[in-house]
Amino acid sequence: MKLNVKNIRYLGPDDWRVLTATEQGSRNHEVVPTPLISQLASIRSGSGVNKCISNLAKIGLIAKVKNAKYDGYRLTYGGLDYLALHSHTKASTVYSVGNQIGVGKESDIYVCASETGKQLVLKIHRLGRISFRTVKANRDYLRNRSSASWMYMSRLAAVKEFEFMKALRKEGFPVPEPVAQNRHTVVMGLIDAFPMRQISNVGDPASLYAELLSLIVRLAQYGLIHGDFNEFNILIEEKTNEETGKVTLIPTIIDFPQMVSIDHTNAEYYFDRDVACIKRFFERRFGFTSDEPGPSFNDSIKSITKRLDVEVEASGFSKKMAKELDAYMKEHGVDGDAGEIKRDDEDELDEGEEEDDDEQDEGEADTSTSPSNAHTLTSQMTILELRDNDPLPSLSDIKPQFHPAASIAPSISTKAAKAKAGWAI
Ligand SMILES: Nc1ncnc2c1ncn2[C@@H]1O[C@H](COP(=O)(O)OP(=O)(O)O)[C@@H](O)[C@H]1O
Ligand SMILES: [Mg+2]
């Protein structure tokens, strides 16, 4: 589902009114009856409305649905994208939209720019588009699909992401600058960096590792667990100190729709999984194994600095919204980037079952590339373009094993680690 902004400037005020009316109508109508669109748009001439409707349908912003009871239209994802972009443009947050830099199962990421030419990122949440590859899951999914739910749930994900980004940024966490949120979209600052997944080598893995783990602990001390803290969602930037020439690696954390409170029933599981993802990635990619155990969830929450989870709940993302989104994600198997890997694994187990991809599913998972030139190799990092399928660590990886032989895990060289895992540069 590509965002095609080409037509946006050809839409007149009446087209926008009709599009907005279709959105309003779809809050309580799966298929919005044409007379209702006319009424909500409050455009005098009936023929004017019809012309707008046919314009919008032609460019795919609304779609005609023939229903047993009546004919009408539904808003498409494209239509919702246009409405959100229109609002961002009116509010002067977004002036132009550029290349797509990321495609996930649940979102599309575009570079965009403000009026003053500041580079930004537009993240479009697309919760309903997940295509389950197993027939059973697909059936459940189709049963639960309604336009109201995909629109609402994608908006919830955007609201959640924006509220957490604001709260974290305020407390000095390394997250992108939150700029605006509208409907199912979030506008944020562009981080000119590579996801850690694309980095094959770092000069000093130990200090980066320590910094990432201390971020997990610090988040817990602020009442939060990222829930999807892994090499996809950590961007690594290089900063050179002009005076000393020393290069430091600066991580930025992104992707917050999975964030959970430390009061969540499975908080410890998510915390341990976040830690295990980093441990495992450092072992496999950089051949680095820490000689320190933990950190543990219970130790981390011994001293609480502030409860951002409670703060966010009070500001824009209520407990009720959190529950709704949580339930939807669970029901639909949304489990972040880590979950994406897990689904791939399950796929293999489900061999023999028919693939039943949804017509809307055009996105390939994990084709994210950095906005900057992939050839800017620098002293501290080696960047690679890769697609691999590291499976999620199993619970036995997460829980420390008290087997004497397992306690002295050998640290292997990066080269050996790469050879073992079959990575290519
Ligand atoms: N603020 C940003 N600056 C630079 N790149 C970004 C930014 N946000 C997202 N990206 C890129 O887009 C990819 C997907 O973004 P993410 O927020 O993790 O979405 P998803 O929910 O689909 O995983 C990231 O891996 C990263 O490459
Ligand atoms: Mg992500």
Cβ-based neighbours of 31, under 8 Å, separated by 6 or more: 65, 67, 70, 71, 72, 73, 74
DSSP one-letter string for 78-135:
HHHHHHHHHHHHHTTS-SEEEEEEEE-SSEEEEEEE-TT--EEEEEEE-GGG---SSH
Geometric angle at alpha carbon 356, from 100 and 132, rounded to 5°: 60
Task: Please indicate, yes or no, if residue 364 is contained in any of the structural domains.
Answer: no
Closest-CA residue to 186 (of 177, 195, 197): 177
Cα(146) to centroid(ligand 1), Å: 27
User: Which candidate, 261, 185, 264, 186, places its Cα nearest to that of 225?
Assistant: 261
pLDDT at 382: 55
Average pLDDT on 43-67 reads 89
| 347 is a catalytic site residue | no
Give the residue among 323, 29, 68 at the shortest CA–CA distance from 148. 29
Distance CA 236, CA 79 (A): 35
Query: Distance from the CA of 110 to the center of ligand 2, in angstroms?
Result: 14
In the listed set 332, 357, 387, which residue is the last one of a domain according to the structure? Answer: 332
State in Å: Cα 376 to ligand 2 middle.
23
Provide mean pLDDT across the span 374-399: 38
Whether the CB-CB separation of 112 and 98 falls below 8 Å is answered with yes
pLDDT band at 425 (very low <50, low <70, confident <90, very high): very low
Q: Is residue 387 part of a domain?
A: no
Residue 130: what pLDDT? 53
Using a 6 Å cutoff on CB, does residue 329 contact ligand 1? no
Name the average pLDDT for the chain: 79
Instruction: Report if residue 382 sits inside a domain.
Output: no
Structure confidence at residue 315 as a pLDDT band (50, 70, 90): confident
Q: What confidence score (pLDDT) does residue 347 get? A: 39
pLDDT digit string, tens, across residues 68-123: 788 899 999 999 999 999 999 999 999 999 888 887 778 999 999 998 889 999 99
Tokens for 8, please give them: 């946006």
Q: Could you tell me if residue 223 is inside a domain?
A: yes
Choice from 100, 101, 197 to test ligand 1 binding pocket (greatest atom count within 8 A of CB): 101
Q: What is the mean pLDDT of residues 171-199?
A: 96
Query: What token pair was written down for 75?
Result: 């808003």
Residues 197, 83 within the same domain = no
197 & 87 share domain: no
Question: What is the C-alpha to C-alpha distance for residues 81 and 94, in angstroms, rounded to an integer?
Answer: 13
Higher pLDDT: 374 or 127? It is: 127
Does residue 260 belong to any structural domain of this protein?
yes
Residue-wise pLDDT tens digits, 200-225: 889 899 999 999 999 999 999 999 99
Q: Are residues 201 and 86 in the same domain?
A: no
For residue 3, the 8-state DSSP code is -
| Domain final residue pick, 35, 61, 91 | 91
Report the phi/psi class of residue 364: left, alpha or beta, with left for phi > 0 and alpha for psi in -120 to 50. Answer: beta
Name which of 55-69, 171-185, 318-332, 376-390 the model is least confident about. Answer: 376-390
CA of 19 to the centre of ligand 2 (A): 30
- Are residues 367 and 318 in contact, defined by beta-carbon separation less than 8 angstroms? no
What is the tens place of the pLDDT at every residue in 273-301? Answer: 999 999 999 999 999 999 888 899 999 99
* Cβ-contact 366, 107 below 8 angstroms: no
161 lines ligand 1 (CB under 6 A): no
Looking at the domain assignment, is residue 371 inside a domain? no
What is the C-alpha separation between 178 and 157, in angstroms, rounded?
A: 14
Q: What is the pLDDT of residue 364?
A: 37
Per-residue pLDDT of 98-108, as tens digits, reads 888 887 778 99
Q: What is the mean pLDDT of residues 27-40?
A: 91
Regarding the beta carbon of 273 and ligand 1, being less than 6 Å apart is answered: no
Q: What local confidence, expressed as pLDDT, does residue 250 receive?
A: 94
The model's pLDDT over 247-272, given as tens digits with 9 standing for 90+, comes to 889 999 999 999 999 999 999 999 99
Ligand nearest to the Cα of 109, by number = 1
How many angstroms does the Cα of residue 50 sit away from the middle of ligand 2?
41
Which of 307, 332, 357 is the endpoint of a domain? 332
User: How many structural domains is the chain composed of?
Assistant: 2
Task: Kindly state whether residues 211 and 321 are assigned to the same domain.
Answer: yes
pLDDT of residue 81: 95
Longest Cα–Cα distance in the chain? 81
CATH number for the domain including 56?
1.10.10.10
- The residue whose CA has the least distance to atom 1 of ligand 1 is 190
Q: What's the pLDDT score for residue 1? A: 67
Q: Which atom of ligand 1 is nearest to the CA of 104?
A: 22
**Segments forming the whole domain that contains residue 328:** 193-332
- Tell me how far the alpha carbon of residue 81 lies from the centroid of ligand 1, in angstroms: 18
* 3-class DSSP state of 190: coil
Amino acid 133: pLDDT: 38
Residue 156 contacts residue 150 (beta carbons within 8 Å):
no
Instruction: Measure the CA–CA gap between 21 and 420, rounded to whole angstroms.
Output: 57
107 lines ligand 1 (CB under 6 A): yes
Q: Over 50: is that where the pLDDT of 348 sits?
A: no
Residue 181 lies inside a defined structural domain of this protein: no
Percent of the chain beyond pLDDT 70? 74
Quick one: what percent of the chain has pLDDT higher than 90?
54
Whose alpha carbon is nearest atom 5 of ligand 1? 191
81 touches ligand 1 (CB under 6 Å): no
DSSP string, 362-380: -PPSS----SS-TT---SS
Give a yes or no: residue 131 inside a domain. Answer: no
- 233 CA from centroid of ligand 2 (Å): 5
Shared domain check, 76 and 201? no
b/e map 182-208, b = 16+ CB within 10 Å? bbbbbbbbbbebbbbbbbbbbeebeeb
pLDDT band at 381 (very low <50, low <70, confident <90, very high): low
Answer whether 112's CB lies under 8 Å from 64's CB. no
The answer to whether 251 and 236 have CB atoms below 8 angstroms apart is yes
pLDDT at 205: 94
Please check whether residues 205 and 82 belong to one and the same domain. no
Rounded Cα–Cα distance for residues 88 and 96 (Å): 10
Pocket test for ligand 1, best of 368, 373, 387 (most atoms within 8 A of CB): 368
The Cα 135–Cα 139 span in angstroms is 6
Q: Using the predicted structure, report yes or no on whether residue 234 has a pLDDT greater than 90.
A: yes
C-alpha R_g of the chain: 23
Q: Is the CB of 103 under 6 A from ligand 1?
A: no
* Domain CATH number, residue 216: 1.10.510.10
| Residue 62 in contact with ligand 1 by CB distance below 6 A | no
Cβ-proximal residues to 164 (8 Å cutoff; 6+ apart), any chain: 224, 256, 259, 308, 312, 317
Is the Cβ atom of 233 under 6 angstroms away from ligand 1?
yes
Catalytic residue of the set 228, 255, 335, 366 = 228
Residue nearest to atom 13 of ligand 1 (CA): 102
Q: In the prediction, which pLDDT does 99 show? A: 86
Q: Is 368 in the pocket of ligand 1 (CB under 6 A)?
A: yes
Residue 351's pLDDT is 37
* Minimum CA distance residue for ligand 1 atom 14: 102
The dihedrals phi and psi of 234, each to the nearest 5 degrees, come to -120, 115
